[in-house]
Amino acid sequence: MRLAASLWRAWQPTISCSSLCPALRRPCSAVLAQRQPGSLVVAWAKAYSSGESSPRSSRFAPDVEENKEQQSNAEERREEQAMYQSRFKQQREIELQEQAESEEPLFPERYPRLESNPERRSVASFLAEFEDELSAEPVILSGRVHRKRRLGKKLVFFDIVNEFEKVQVMLNRAKCMPKKHNHAQFDLLVKLLQRGDHVCKFTPAPVTGIAGLTDQGERTLMATDLPQLLSPAMQPIPEKLTDSKTRALERHVDMLVNKQAVDVLRLRSEIVRFMREHFQSKRFLEMQTPILARNAGGAIARPFVTHATGFGDKDMALRVAPELWLKRLVIGGFDKVFEIGPSFRNEGIDATHNPEFTTCEFYSAYFNLSDLTKETEELIHGLAQHCQNLIAEQLTSLPPIDLSRFIRPFKQVEFIPALQAAMRVRLPNLSTDDALPELLAVLKLAKINLPGEAPDSLPKLLDRLATVYLEPSSFKEPIFITHHPACMSPLSKSFLCPKTYQLVSARAELFIGGRELANMYEEENDPKEQQRKLNAHRSMVNLDNGEVGFLEPEPKEEATREDPEAEGTSDDSSSEDAAPLDQSFVKALEYGLPPTGGWGCGVERLVMLFSGASRISDCLTFGTLRNVVNISAEEEEKQKKSQQS
């Protein structure tokens, strides 16, 4: 299926050319016609000259042998696109410069300053104000030209977009330019204004007119004066954009063209706002804790390491989680705190992981595990309803949310009993030093084979078993997996389970659709017990000189991919087993951490859940780290080629 999908994307046209200015089409066609007959370029030239959408092949052959040919065609289309963009820019430069140097220029300044005007309104407020009744009062708007349609010589319609809302503006030559000798200026303006231009009235106001309805009943602004160009688009804005590489490297263009790309990011913003208001309504205080510090601290992950020249070139690390800082705040008397912010893990990239991501964590004194699960149910249930309302009314390109999936209470399963029932084996004592070889022996006797190499630690093995036997049940309904073996949770409180007589943690993970959405547990507040657990689990080591060192990951071969957003495999499982031993945090516990419940989730995971996105890259403003790096690398490569030529 992945091969078929990639081949289908390769057949898609890179852009549709109907948005290009008429002045560009003729010379562009002449240049392209000089290429070899029968080539794809000639077909593109015909599309430009006729104003039609770009041609696409009518056949689809998912043959592996044709894959290279498809990639070659895609690269050829990108080269043609680059040439068209260059032509478009040159032609616009000439036209704008010529009109600026004329005796009566329409646009004396190409990028004028916007003058203040208290009457200026957004498109959204205009549509809301005139939803029920129309007014003869002048309306002043500004925005981006989304579409231009000319009906004869005297009538032109522009769709103006602002704040994700669109309104139609009608220009009637007889009303805007009553004097006959000014008709040429009207024609010039219609020719110059292109899709993507930002327009308004330079003085005294932006696009000015009377609100009314067309014969078709569409709410329209009847312009009484010509609009003024504020910022011209010097690159063509396509009608469609389907090439995956172009969409990734020019994400801003993707946002202009594909509504779904914008809707996902708008939903992300609404999710963050909802969560912030939810916690603030419950008297949580929002805090900002350090991102760069001596220790990464707070989670089981490999950190990004750097050097601080102002501190004797000491090793520093980007945080992998804000957990330890937030718990220090609880110790300091802030009983209810939360933080929404970035975290970093120096690990792989796949469909659900990115080295830089956004987390939401909260900590509340006098919360236990039951309080945490109830709070989670309330938050997720409220988010589902809020997101569905947005999708139904505004973010219409996103699939609807089945609210029946989020009926409370969510199902709960205990880790060890559920795993034993699924595998039909009894687990050995997981708290002994020999637990790993004993568990491997049990699996071998039961003829249970796990994919890939055998994990080299007990937490990894248990996590792998949960992935195979427990997490898939979340495809049917949301589930809490509770009471993990204590070895999997070094920062949580633990107790002896009366059912299994195993040492387990007061912890729960929420899974929906096979993905972990949230992790929560009662925080370990015994300083001696916390130090013992961290000593047993730390993956970062204390050097002989007492400083903290970082285990260096083994070098990996960098994959080369056609698609900058192509996803490989996250190496989460290869991370070492625990956070470093932070003695300052252990000492802070000696001042008294009350019984505390802690909770964390990945914001991108929530966005994926409620938007229906299949990749985390769709939920990040500019894609994964691989794409962010490739954006600059692509331009640098173009500059080198340009200098060499």
**What is the CATH number for 308?**
3.30.930.10
Domain annotation covers residue 340: yes
Percent of the chain beyond pLDDT 90?
48
Domain limits at 172? 120-231
Contacting residues for 166 by C-beta, under 8 A, at least 6 apart: 123, 146, 159, 160
At residue 216, the pLDDT reads: 58
- Asked if residues 142 and 162 have their Cβ atoms less than 8 Å apart, the reply is yes
Contacting residues for 44 by C-beta, under 8 A, at least 6 apart: 17, 32, 54, 55, 77, 80, 84
Q: Are residues 226 and 124 in the same domain?
A: yes
At residue 80, the pLDDT reads: 84
- Across 156-160, 382-386, 641-645, least confident range: 641-645
Q: Are residues 10 and 72 in the same domain?
A: yes
Angle at 124 between CA 382 and CA 193, to 5 degrees: 135
Total domains in the fold of the chain: 3
pLDDT-derived band at 312 (thresholds 50, 70, 90) equals: confident
Q: How many Å apart are CA 295 and CA 215, to the nearest integer?
A: 67
What type of residue is 88?
F
Structural tokens at position 148: 């231009």
Q: Are residues 160 and 270 in the same domain?
A: no
Q: Are residues 360 and 423 in the same domain?
A: yes
Q: Are residues 67 and 141 in the same domain?
A: no
Q: Are residues 67 and 125 in the same domain?
A: no
Mind listing the pLDDT tens digit for each residue in 31-84?
A: 333 333 333 333 333 333 333 333 333 333 344 445 677 777 777 887 888 888
- Asked if residues 201 and 225 have their Cβ atoms less than 8 Å apart, the reply is yes
At residue 211, the pLDDT reads: 54
Structural tokens at position 402: 């089945």
Give the end of a domain, one of 71, 101, 131.
101
What type of residue is 390?
L
What type of residue is 286?
E
Q: How many Å apart are CA 207 and CA 205, to the nearest integer?
A: 7
CB atoms within 10 A of CB 182: 14
Q: How many Å apart are CA 232 and CA 228, to the nearest integer?
A: 10
Strands 314-318 and 292-293: antiparallel
User: Which of 58, 61, 51 shows the shortest CA–CA distance to 18?
Assistant: 51
E strands present in 345-455: 356-365, 411-414
- 329 versus 579: the higher-pLDDT residue is 329
- Asked if residues 491 and 323 have their Cβ atoms less than 8 Å apart, the reply is yes
Q: Are residues 403 and 338 in the same domain?
A: yes
Give the end of a domain, one of 200, 231, 262.
231
At residue 567, the pLDDT reads: 55
Domain annotation covers residue 607: yes
* Residue bearing tokens 């990011």: 265
The pLDDT of residue 2 is above 50: no
CATH assignment of the domain containing 213: 2.40.50.140
Provide the whole-model pTM.
Answer: 0.81
